[in-house]
Chains A and B, each alone.
Chain A
Amino acid sequence: MTLESIFAKFPNRMREDLIPLLQMIQDEFGFLSEVTIRELGSFLNISVNKIYGVATFYDNFRFGPVGRYHIRLCHGTACHVAGASTILNELEKLLRIRSGETDKEGLFSLEVVSCLGACGLAPLVEINQEYHPALSLEAMKDIIQRLRNNEKLNYEVGS
Chain B
Amino acid sequence: MKSDLENGTKEFLIQQVLLNPGRAASAKLQKELSYIARERVHRPVIYLGTATCGMVAGAGNTLEAIRAYIGENGLNAELVEVGCIGLCSAEPIMDIQLPGRSRLSFSHVTPDKVQVLLDEVINNHLPDVPVLGQYRSQIHQEWEGVPKMEDHPFFKNQQRMLLEHCGMINPVDITTYIARGGYCAFVDTITHHTPAQVCQLVDQSGLAGRGGGGYPAGKKWAITLGTVSDQRYFVCNAVESDPGSYMNRAIIESNPHRLLEAVLIASYATGATKAFVFIRKEFRLAIRRLREALEQTREYGLTGHHIFDSGVNIDIVIKEGARAFVCGEETALNNSIEGKRAMPASKPPFPAVRGLWNKPTSVNNVETLFNVPLILQNGPDWFASTGTERSKGTKLFTLSGKVRRSGTVEVPMGISFRDIIDRIGGGMNSDKAFKAIILGINSGSYIVEETLDTQVDFEALKNIGSALGSGAFVVVDEDTCMVDLARHFTAFFKKESCGKCIPCREGTARMLEIMESVTRRPGGGESLQPLERFKGVMQLRGLASVIKDTSLCSLGRSSPNAILNTLKHFKPEFDMHIFERKCPANVCRDLRVFSIDVDLCTGCTACYKKCPVDAIIGSPRNPHFIVQDKCIGCGTCYDVCKFNAVLIQ
Which residues of A pack against B, CB within 8 Å? 14-20, 22-23, 53-54, 57-61, 75-78, 80-82, 113-122, 124, 129, 131, 133, 137
Give the top 7 A-B pairs by smallest Cβ distance, nearest first.
A76-B243, A120-B88, A117-B246, A58-B322, A119-B400, A115-B243, A120-B406
Residues of chain B contacted by A129 (CB below 8 angstroms): 284
Q: Is A118 touching B56 in the complex (CB atoms < 8 A)?
A: yes
A78, A117, A121: the one within 8 Å of B249 (CB): A117
B240, B319, B322, B398: the one within 8 Å of A119 (CB): B398
Q: Which residue of B lies closest to A18 (CB)?
A: B339
Cα separation A130 to B283 with both chains bound (whole Å): 14
Q: Is B244 touching A78 in the complex (CB atoms < 8 A)?
A: yes
Q: Which residue of B lies closest to A21 (CB)?
A: B339
Question: How many Å from the CB of A12 to the closest CB on chain B?
Answer: 12
Q: Is B246 touching A118 in the complex (CB atoms < 8 A)?
A: yes
B55 on the A face (CB < 8 A): yes
Q: Which of A22, A76, A119 lies at the interface centre, i.e. has the most chain B CB atoms within 10 A of its CB?
A: A119
Mask, B357-375, CB within 8 Å of A = 1, is 0000000000000000000
Q: Is A57 touching B282 in the complex (CB atoms < 8 A)?
A: no
Q: Is A57 touching B243 in the complex (CB atoms < 8 A)?
A: no
Other A-B pairs beyond A20-B320, A78-B401, 4, CB < 8 Å = A15-B339, A57-B324, A58-B342, A76-B244
B148 on the A face (CB < 8 A): no
Q: Is B324 touching A58 in the complex (CB atoms < 8 A)?
A: yes
Q: Which of B23-31, B98-106, B472-480 contacts A (4 or more CB under 8 A)?
A: B472-480
Cα separation A82 to B438 with both chains bound (whole Å): 14
Residues of chain B contacted by A14 (CB below 8 angstroms): 339
B323 on the A face (CB < 8 A): yes
B281, B339, B472, B492: the one within 8 Å of A54 (CB): B339
Q: What number of B residues sit within 8 Å (CB to CB) of A?
A: 52
Q: Is B246 touching A60 in the complex (CB atoms < 8 A)?
A: no
B241 on the A face (CB < 8 A): yes
B56, B283, B322, B407: the one within 8 Å of A133 (CB): B56
Q: Is B480 touching A81 in the complex (CB atoms < 8 A)?
A: yes
Known A-B contacts A57-B324, A76-B244; the reply to A118 vs B52 at CB < 8 A is yes
Q: Is A131 touching B341 in the complex (CB atoms < 8 A)?
A: no
Known A-B contacts A16-B337, A58-B324; the reply to A131 vs B246 at CB < 8 A is no
Residues of chain A contacted by B339 (CB below 8 angstroms): 14-19, 54
Q: Is A60 touching B281 in the complex (CB atoms < 8 A)?
A: yes
Residues of chain A contacted by B324 (CB below 8 angstroms): 57-59
Residues of chain A contacted by B55 (CB below 8 angstroms): 131
Q: Is A77 touching B342 in the complex (CB atoms < 8 A)?
A: no
Q: Is B472 touching A22 in the complex (CB atoms < 8 A)?
A: no
Cα separation A76 to B472 with both chains bound (whole Å): 11
Q: Which of A53, A57, A77 lies at the interface centre, i.e. has the most chain B CB atoms within 10 A of its CB?
A: A77
Q: Is B322 touching A77 in the complex (CB atoms < 8 A)?
A: no
Residues of chain B contacted by A81 (CB below 8 angstroms): 401-402, 474, 476, 480, 485
Q: Which residue of A lies closest to B472 (CB)?
A: A77
Q: Is A54 touching B341 in the complex (CB atoms < 8 A)?
A: yes
B155 on the A face (CB < 8 A): no
Q: Is B52 touching A119 in the complex (CB atoms < 8 A)?
A: no
Question: How many Å from the CB of A22 to the closest CB on chain B?
Answer: 7
Cα separation A115 to B239 with both chains bound (whole Å): 12
Q: Which residue of A lies closest to B88 (CB)?
A: A120
B555 on the A face (CB < 8 A): no
Q: Is B323 touching A59 in the complex (CB atoms < 8 A)?
A: yes
Cα separation A81 to B476 with both chains bound (whole Å): 7
B89 on the A face (CB < 8 A): yes
Residues of chain A contacted by B399 (CB below 8 angstroms): 120
Q: Is B89 touching A120 in the complex (CB atoms < 8 A)?
A: yes
Residues of chain B contacted by A137 (CB below 8 angstroms): 639
Cα separation A18 to B319 with both chains bound (whole Å): 12
Q: Which of B57, B284, B400, B498 lies at the interface centre, i.e. has the most chain A CB atoms within 10 A of its CB?
A: B400
Known A-B contacts A54-B340, A81-B485; the reply to A118 vs B244 at CB < 8 A is no
Question: How many Å from the CB of B364 to the closest CB on chain A?
Answer: 20
B441 on the A face (CB < 8 A): yes
Residues of chain B contacted by A78 (CB below 8 angstroms): 243-244, 400-401, 474
Residues of chain A contacted by B492 (CB below 8 angstroms): 114
Question: How many Å from the CB of B44 to the closest CB on chain A?
Answer: 29
Mask, B202-246, CB within 8 Å of A = 1, is 000000000000000000000000000000000000001111111
B88, B240, B241: the one within 8 Å of A118 (CB): B88
A15, A22, A82, A114: the one within 8 Å of B243 (CB): A114
Cα separation A65 to B492 with both chains bound (whole Å): 25
Q: Is B340 touching A131 in the complex (CB atoms < 8 A)?
A: no
Residues of chain B contacted by A53 (CB below 8 angstroms): 341
Residues of chain A contacted by B496 (CB below 8 angstroms): 114
Known A-B contacts A117-B249, A120-B53, A122-B400; the reply to A77 vs B320 at CB < 8 A is no
Cα separation A20 to B276 with both chains bound (whole Å): 14
Q: Is A131 touching B338 in the complex (CB atoms < 8 A)?
A: no
Residues of chain A contacted by B325 (CB below 8 angstroms): 114
Residues of chain A contacted by B340 (CB below 8 angstroms): 15, 54
Residues of chain B contacted by A122 (CB below 8 angstroms): 400
Question: How many Å from the CB of B191 to the closest CB on chain A?
Answer: 33
Residues of chain A contacted by B338 (CB below 8 angstroms): 15-16
Q: Is B52 touching A114 in the complex (CB atoms < 8 A)?
A: no
